[in-house]
Chains A and B, each alone.
Chain A
Amino acid sequence: MSHRLLSLACHGYAIAAILYLGYLIRQWRLFAIGGRLLVGGCLVLHAVALGGELAGQGGMPVGLAQGLSAVAFLLLAIFFVLDLRFRIPVMGAFITPAAVAVLLPALLISGREPIPSTFRRPLLPVHITIALAGVAAFAVAAGVAVMYLLMERQMKGKRFGLLFSRLPSLTFLDQLNKQLVLWGFVALSVTLITGAFFSSSSAGLFWRWEPKEIATVVAWIVFAVLLNARFFAGWRGRRVAVLTMAGFCVLLVSFFSSYDPSRQLGVFR
């Protein structure tokens, strides 16, 4: 049932992605409204599907499939809220295809494994949910950074083409990036603290030199440097966009190294 709902939501997102791309090209308002309604509706389906799966696991997403599904959900939920708040349907052309790309593998990975008893701790669902929310926030920030760089390329190159007329202003994109990175950084910091706490209580060590730990700390440092440069040295625009993308790439390493590729389901190491 959950799988069928998830599949339905994925199809809906794919149609929304086509609508948003259509909006990017033709700017027909109907496309934007259709995309918005579809994403909103499919988020409900997705929430029901995900909720059904997580209910039996103490609210904790386990394995790569559920991790990807949760990231896709949070990614689209953030976009949906931003679109409602700022009316930026053009962003849908960047976010929805990415979300479909994230969700597709989640659909293809099937099967279910029992959760190891060592993982049944009350703090873990909080740790994982916040970590995934952070990944989603940084993913949207990276999408915004791509939009910024594309827009700046048009402005600097004096090519006043399709993207130039469609994308929001550079200042708006820069401010949005600032907010998203700030929230993502808070989530990432909480993830690191709760992760260290969980690690020490289960394995007796705060730090075990695992790839996911190293990658997460490196990503945290990149974003800490970025925020410092932004707030104290006045950095903005292009440099910040590039750093956001770099930080997100490191975070992706952290995300995928959290899962065991040798097992079909990819439960937590």
Chain B
Amino acid sequence: MRVTDNATARMVLATLQQQQERVYTLQQQVSSGMRINAPSDDPVSAQQALDMKVLIAANDQYSRNIATGNTWLAQMDSSLSDMNNVMVRARELATQMANGIYDASARQSAANEIQGLKDQLISLGNSQIGGKYIFGGFVSDQPPFITTDGVPSPGDVAGDFKGTDDPIKIQVDQQSFVAINYSGGKLIRGDGTSGTTDIVDTLDKLITALNSNDTNNVRSSIVKINSSIQQIQAAQGDVGARENRLEKAGDVLTGTRDYLTKALSGKQDADFIQVLSDLAKQQTAYQATLASTAMFSKISLLDYMR
């Protein structure tokens, strides 16, 4: 093939531009650390990488939800524990006062202490975290229990439950929800079915019995107090089980996140060793082209003509 000067010049120019383009692409990969800097670099992998990012973001959100749940359940655990202690003290007193040794005035003071314990129980029922009442179901911005010194509406009695029994659920994974609250009403007031105890009512009856020096009723309240304690401990068990569930969900999320991050990295990260070695090769090729161009452009028939 006959080669003209223009053809040579054009070829050199095209080669140099091609090499510069390759160098540019490689440098872009080095500086961003990614193999994919635009969807057109690898459209299929790009789409897959983006889908994975969506999953990772959702995963992070579920972790945040679990953190909120943990805080609630921890507070609940602590409140339930305190309630347990309250009822244990109530049982102590009741057991004592059931004994014939004590007289009416002793029982009076006991009644006062029980009253105080009842107030404590109710205020534990109004436990908050971050300004939210955790035992009120969906009523979370106002205290769910009427307190003794609260201003009641007509017909309100101290210890009345004004909240709901609804579970507050958080999402810990796709299709997976955990309730992070416990209904105060069911806990302290019972739900009216046999097998649940109205703890407030029990305490009320104990106070009445103590005030009226009614030893028999004091004695019979001990049974109810025992079942109250069991009720509270059952709630504690439930809360503990849910804390476990959250922990396991958190572990699953961590595992999934690790896997997703690794897969994402495989899809979109640049292999630095490969890229840097390609860059070195390209730069060498570019230099070689420049050198050979300079060499050939110096030679011409004109040099040899007289």
Q: Do A and B bind each other?
A: no
